[in-house]
């Protein structure tokens, strides 16, 4: 029996441009979503605690000045909160410690990584140990990609999923770590949640199946407990069958892959919060 309809927050403003699709994906999955302006979070940091799930959508936050999502990441890490101690990133850590969920999509993934919230090795969010940088192709990539879920990942959003087909739209999607030791830990501790594959499902570095050249073909990662996740593909762009690029030519079976991700979040919130 569902105790309550979980509430979710979808960020918007300052260059974010996928908030409406994300809002409707939340709604279709069962959430009661609100659109919240990005600057309001710094003004009212306690606002987040009335929600169960936060999504940071894709776009070009702050015009991607200083690099994708970098300007906002600096604010979240170093701008003192008004009326209380600490920084906004610390408030997000408290949010997750309460058992709640954060999802970053594309630009939102870049923001989580540059805030230190992903991969959050040793639950340390003070240091940035990875980044997302320019695609090896040297251009903006807009295509659908094949993806494989790491079955050993604790990621809440990808539970009971195996292979996915989703669109990517980015110019800075190449995931790299600061050194080989960090990359080994990301791999061995199952922070890798999602990888690019070829049509047969084999993890690959080959272009265009791996559209950006990410280390380990990484398309998404999560924190140690699996409640913070970031991914470059756009699940909000495939929550109805007619979003599939071949829906008029093929029989599309089952639920749309993007919707499955949001429904996993919904199931977690209704069962655990």
| Other CB atoms within 10 A of residue 83 CB | 9
Asked if 236 is an active-site residue, the reply is yes
Asked if 19 is an active-site residue, the reply is no
State how far the Cα of 127 lies from the Cα of 238, in Å rounded to an integer: 34
Task: Return the exposure string of 201-232: e unless at least 16 CB atoms fall within 10 Å of the residue's CB, then b.
Answer: eebbeeeebbbbbbbbbbbbbbbeebbbbbbb
Q: Which of 26, 125, 170, 234 is catalytic?
A: 234
**Alpha carbon distances (Å) from 254 to 92, 141, 257, 260:** 34, 27, 9, 10
3-state secondary structure of 179: coil
| Other CB atoms within 10 A of residue 182 CB | 17
State how far the Cα of 69 lies from the Cα of 205, in Å rounded to an integer: 25
Closest by alpha carbon to 184, among 223, 214, 162, 216?
Answer: 216
Closest by alpha carbon to 133, among 180, 173, 186, 179?
Answer: 173
Q: Which of 125, 222, 236, 243 is catalytic?
A: 236
Q: Which of 106, 155, 222, 269 is catalytic?
A: 106
- With beta carbons less than 8 A apart as the criterion, state whether 174 and 212 touch: yes
- With beta carbons less than 8 A apart as the criterion, state whether 162 and 148 touch: yes
Residues comprising the chain, all counted: 273
Q: For residue 11, what is the enclosing H or E element?
A: strand 7-12
Asked if 170 is an active-site residue, the reply is no
* Residues noted as catalytic: 106, 234, 236
């Amino acid at each position: 029996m569902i105790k309550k309809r979980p509430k979710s927050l979808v960020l918007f403003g300052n260059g974010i441009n996928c908030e409406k699709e994300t809002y409707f994906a939340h709604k279709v999955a069962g959430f009661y979503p609100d659109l919240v302006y990005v600057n309001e979070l710094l003004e009212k940091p306690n606002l987040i605690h009335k929600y169960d799930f936060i999504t940071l959508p894709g776009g070009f936050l702050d015009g991607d000045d200083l690099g994708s999502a970098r300007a906002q990441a600096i604010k979240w890490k170093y701008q003192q909160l008004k009326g209380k101690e600490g920084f906004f990133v610390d408030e997000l850590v408290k949010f997750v410690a309460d058992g709640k969920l954060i999802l970053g999509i594309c630009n939102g993934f870049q923001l989580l990584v540059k805030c230190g919230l992903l991969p959050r090795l040793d639950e340390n969010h003070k240091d940035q140990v990875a980044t997302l940088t320019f695609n090896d192709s040297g251009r903006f990539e807009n295509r659908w990609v094949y993806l494989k879920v790491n079955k050993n990942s604790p990621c809440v959003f990808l539970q009971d999923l195996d292979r996915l087909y989703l669109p990517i739209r980015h110019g800075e999607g190449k995931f790299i770590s600061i050194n080989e030791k960090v990359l080994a830990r990301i791999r061995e501790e199952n922070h890798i949640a999602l990888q690019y594959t070829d049509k047969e499902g084999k993890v690959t570095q080959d272009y265009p199946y791996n559209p950006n050249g990410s280390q380990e073909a990484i398309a998404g990662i999560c924190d140690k407990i699996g409640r913070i996740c970031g991914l470059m593909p756009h699940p909000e762009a495939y929550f109805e069958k007619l979003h599939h690029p071949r829906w008029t030519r093929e029989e599309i079976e089952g639920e749309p892959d993007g919707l499955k991700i949001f429904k996993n979040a919904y199931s977690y919130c209704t069962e655990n919060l």
